[in-house]
Structure 1
């Protein structure tokens, strides 16, 4: 099924038009179906900015998820005609023309219900089916059912979904694992890549590339034939991340690709647009105003690239480590992204092997080998003894210790010696009473101290286990489980992020209130319970 967004205009043309906050120049020539699926900041830009500027809703995402009740072009025309009238009321106009989207509510558990039982009861609540979407919705259709994270996150997200799928598989729902894998394959076939989420306003960027891990999970369920079935999509996603690499000169970057001075090719996060994010429009406008010495479009691109990283936001991306206005995501070569692309290259080689395509096996194996050497050359900090990010514009490593340092262990590219030193650094620098902290910097950003996130706990546990650091892996896993249990007993919910400092609370910081549900926490919790079982309840948060 083709989304309405692509009836005659190409996606590339729309993305080019999207570089402006105004509607495309061809807007007047689109038919109703084409206009129906424009992102809100292009469909009715003046109204969009008025609603966001006046903070009609406490969450900027709320309005972009709202459903217009009629053709957006007519809403726009009426707004422009009436907005200067003395009796015009913006709030009433929005109520008359839009249906608000409610949060994905999570039911309270039955009294005394084990956490596993509660999580199993959440999967149907968080499941959605939108083979067709309502006219004018910002939602993008998908052919199969899927699971959303919860709370304000009413759509399917890319990297969130892998950790959710781990939980679905643990719950015995292998059918939905296949359905969600097929949804991501469909998006690659339809858009050429996997968007951040299935919303029109997410179409300009992706997220950490976990599709290869989804395919690997499906192969675990059904056998290696899954690798061959998804080979075209694996290769197509890889081409998206590597677009612009051919002919790139040393010291230059193009889209997601960076060529370093020695000719090494690595990747960065990027977004095709350089405007404020629609779902965080006012915050981005204010952030750019604080960066008075930089072009606004540069700041907005870096904010969007930070959103693509999944770590939105973190001191990892900040020039001064503290102020969001100093963000420079596109100047940074991240260790986690490049580790995931190494795994994608290895997975494609594996898929080519299953279809007996020897040249393909060799080609992608060589690409993985080159990336591994480049990571060890540029992202390994020999003095500190752990993996770091690299600033390709300033030609230097960024020495900060973060949970991303464990991705080379998770994907298996680290040498034994480097894995051992990294494990020691993580134990000494990131281990907390409730798991591992995301960074060592406390600055109010949600991907910083004292927050710990379920996917990073799983990456740590699996990566450390892979290299024989089972005791440290167990410490991290059981401490995080105890943190999840403690909040569950206190507040009857699982949440998006946790304060791992020992207070036993949910996490804080960032652009919105703490969300409960919660897809990837549910999935990782089930996997950790399966892995450690009763041992989790024996580890107190104060240890």
Structure 2
């Protein structure tokens, strides 16, 4: 059955009748009749019924209008498409392309002119040693005089980054000739290349046969290491002293495993740079490597992180303002101008920046303590680097790897490094009584016992023995499982936080895509297919129900207890603001959906299309 519809006429009539709250969406909160009559091409009439089908009609009209059409020919199968099938198809066909960016003439205005630009100023920072980029962007400036081109100094210090806080801009990424190497952004106001987001997005890209784009993102990561010294939190100027959770080795390995033929020249180049990152970012003693041989997050910087929401630190600053007998505004100005130097407050912001470097901004797990912690997640990730390096060298280089810089590494070397780290993880992070891994405070010489989803990263990295894996699986299913998936932290872990303090977005009752994906893979590593499928189903069911009820909404995060995208913590929920149709979803949420579907059995995929309640399905 086909409908040939005048787009504007049908769109306006549909919205007048069904969009009773005027938000240019059709959701379960609208109070229209939820019945809309259409005429088929052969003159018959058909009534579209219910929120989900009506919102699909709205979306199909929007897709056709976005293509510049006056009339849309829409088959009934698109309007009444099964929800899980539709979400997956939209991700594969529309969302990835809409989230793709390049920093070149074709794509530059989409990034430098976004809401993060200060006023009308649009600035690109270019590395001093990338002569090709400097020449390219200076030529581009002659065509687009509103763009400012600034060349970074050879040595980037916290003092320099502080000096450009009032001149924020995008950081250049790799150019190939006159074309920018593409990358995927998370979505919404996150309109730049983020660190660990990119790895999780790539998991979805590889499943959707977009190896080209995943490989391009590795190239951009390597560019960052080469010219900025690290994989950045994101390619914005105020992130120059901050890295992100290290996923590059997994990224490289999975791209190689997905490809039919691995380009050894390319692999040699990127593996060389990944080893450089491991050694220069993570294994410098006294920095991110601590005396006990384990690692921590440690982001440099001076003063208040400029990207934070206005008022985010008011309570902290009020306390220090009273100490100096000033009002908060006066104290903040003097502190940022370094007229007042307070070592204790400086340390607070070291912890805060380090917390942001961890990707978990913010959580009470890391508040005012992050730089003192050997975290489970970081050390599991670095163990994975070591085992990935061993695997890649054995698989593609016959056990010995010669870098482009002339250094030689054996697979045996990395096996020894991984074994040494595993021993330390078991000494410092594993608690025999509670039978779980916990972050270790090396200043206080004790574990924190904070219950976080990050405590299960050793399953993903392959650190556990089978007995440990069994204990972790039981702990996970008993304490972290919510109706909509895995909790970021347990309710008990934040029960000590007074009610007047803000809710942190990486804490109970919220759940996040990267935690789900890491834990699913971890369970599968140890043969727990049944538990993995249940957790996958719960997460995808929640996403699907919200998309059905709210016009296809796929946001950044969820409350996995209430199973809603209406999350009231800190920064709101990116990906919920759109008209008619979401054209991009949210990066790692899209990936989690595609990855989850790849794990589910055909029977559970069909149950997902039927929206079978997980509490009944898995009782």
TM-score by length of 2: 0.64
Cα contact 1:158–1:206 (8 A) shared by 2 = yes
Partner residue in 2 for 1:456: 515
Give the equivalent residue in structure 2 for 1:182: 219
CA 258–283 in structure 1, closer or farther in 2 if over 3 Å, else same: farther
Alignment of 1:32-71 (within 5 A): none
Per the alignment, residue 525 of structure 1 pairs with 593
1:267–1:337: 8 Å Cα contact kept in structure 2? yes
- Measure how far apart 1:483 and its partner are: 0.5
SS at match of 2:546: helix
Give, in angstroms, the shift of residue 360 of structure 1: 2.8
Contact 2:537 2:614 in 1 (8 A): no
Give the structure with higher Rg (CA): 2
Cα distance change on mapping 1:383 and 1:501 into 2, 3 Å = same
Q: Distance in 2 between matches of 1:290 and 1:477?
A: 44
CA contact (8 A) 1:483 1:504 kept: yes
Q: Using the alignment, how far apart are the partners of 1:108 and 1:509 within structure 2?
A: 30
- Displacement, 1:539? 4.6
What is the CA-CA distance between 1:266 and the residue it aligns to? 0.6
Mapped to 2, the partners of 1:255 and 1:290 lie a distance apart of 31
SS at match of 2:440: strand
Q: Which runs of 5+ in 1 are unaligned?
A: 1-106, 246-253, 319-326
Task: Give deviations 1:139-194, integer Å, cap 9, x for gaps.
Answer: 11222111111111010101001111111112221211111111111111212211
Separation of aligned partners in 2, 1:196 and 1:423: 31
The answer to whether residue 157 in structure 2 is matched with residue 125 in structure 1 is no
Partner of residue 423, structure 1: 473
Distance of 1:238 and 1:244 partners within structure 2: 9
Q: Which residue does 1:233 correspond to in 2?
A: 273
Q: Who is 2:345 aligned against?
A: 296
Count of matched residue positions in the alignment of Structure 1 and Structure 2: 417
SS at match of 1:339: helix
Structure 1 residues 172, 535: CA separation in 2 closer, same or farther (over 3 Å shift)?
A: same
Distance 1:542 1:141 in 2: 48
C-alpha contact 1:159 1:207 (8 A) present in aligned 2? yes
In the other structure, the counterpart of 2:529 is 470
Q: Check whether the contact 1:284–1:300 (CA below 8 A) recurs between aligned residues.
A: no
Q: Distance in 2 between matches of 1:147 and 1:493?
A: 19
**Cα 1:474/1:291, change in 2 over 3 Å:** farther
Aligned residue number for residue 15 of structure 1? none
Deviation at 1:108, TM superposition (A): 7.7
Q: Does 1:116 align with 2:88?
A: yes
Q: Distance in 1 between matches of 2:299 and 2:309?
A: 15
Aligned to 2:67: none
Call closer, same or farther: CA 1:316–1:473 in 2, change over 3 Å. same
Say whether the 8 Å CA contact 2:567–2:573 is kept in structure 1: no
Residue 409 of structure 1, aligned match among 459, 483, 487 = 459
Return 5+ residue gaps in structure 2 as ranges.
1-56, 61-78, 106-123, 125-146, 150-167, 175-180, 324-342, 402-408, 498-502, 577-584
Aligned counterpart for 1:272 among listed residues 300, 304, 322: 300
User: Are positions 1:446 and 2:505 aligned together?
Assistant: yes
Which range moved further: 346-355 or 207-216? Answer: 346-355
1:135 aligns with 148
Q: Cα distance, 1:287 vs. partner?
A: 4.8
Contact 2:380 2:458 in 1 (8 A): yes
User: Cα gap change, 1:185/1:542 in structure 2, threshold over 3 Å: closer, same or farther?
Assistant: same
Q: Residues 268 and 291 from structure 1, CA distance in 2 versus in 1: closer, same or farther, beyond 3 angstroms?
A: farther
Tell me how far 1:290 sits from its aligned partner.
5.1
126-135 or 267-276: which moved more? 126-135
Structure-2 separation of matches of 1:241 and 1:368: 17
- Partners in 2 of 1:279 and 1:380 — Cα distance? 35
Aligned to 2:142: none
**Cα offset for 1:352?**
3.2
Q: Distance in 2 between matches of 1:409 and 1:539?
A: 29
CA distance in 2, matches of 1:123, 1:384: 42
Seen in structure 2, the aligned counterparts of structure 1 residues 285 and 503 have a Cα distance that, compared at 3 Å, is closer
- State the match for 1:346 in structure 2: 387
- Report the CA distance shift for 1:242/1:181 in structure 2 as closer, same or farther (over 3 A): closer
| Structure 2: distance between partners of 1:112 and 1:122 | 20
Alpha-carbon distance between aligned partners in 1 of 2:283 and 2:315, rounded to the nearest angstrom: 30
* Cα distance change, pair 109–209 in 1 and its aligned pair in 2 (3 A): farther
Using the alignment, how far apart are the partners of 1:390 and 1:290 within structure 2? 30
| Cα contact 1:454–1:497 (8 A) shared by 2 | yes
Partner of 1:370: 420
Aligned-partner SS, 1:168: helix
Aligned to 2:287: 255
Instruction: Choose which of 363, 369, 379 in structure 1 pairs with 2:429.
Output: 379
Shift of 1:291: 5.5
Q: Secondary structure at the match of 2:568?
A: coil
The SS at the match of 2:613 is: coil
Per mean C-alpha deviation after superposition, the further-off stretch among 111-120 and 384-393 is 111-120
Q: How does 1:11-90 map to 2 (within 5 A)?
A: none
State the alpha-carbon separation in 2 of the partners of residues 503 and 146 from structure 1: 31
The answer (yes or no) to whether the contact 1:502–1:542 under 8 Å persists in 2 is no
- Does the aligned pair in 2 maintain the 1:241–1:257 contact within 8 Å? no
- Equivalent of 2:400 in 357, 360, 367: 357
Label 1:504 to 1:513 Cα distance change in 2 as closer, same or farther (>3 A): closer
CA RMSD of aligned residues (A): 2.2
Alpha-carbon distance between aligned partners in 1 of 2:350 and 2:572, rounded to the nearest angstrom? 20
Q: 1:207 matched to which residue of 2? A: 244
Change (3 A) 1:108 1:290: farther
Call closer, same or farther: CA 1:389–1:193 in 2, change over 3 Å.
Answer: same
Relative to structure 1, is the Cα distance of residues 448 and 335 closer, same or farther in structure 2, using a 3 angstrom cutoff?
same
Kept in 1, the 8 Å contact 2:556–2:573? The answer is no
User: SS in structure 1 opposite 2:242?
Assistant: coil
Residue 502 of structure 1 deviates from its aligned partner by 3.7
Structure 2 residue 542 is the aligned partner of structure 1 residue 483: yes
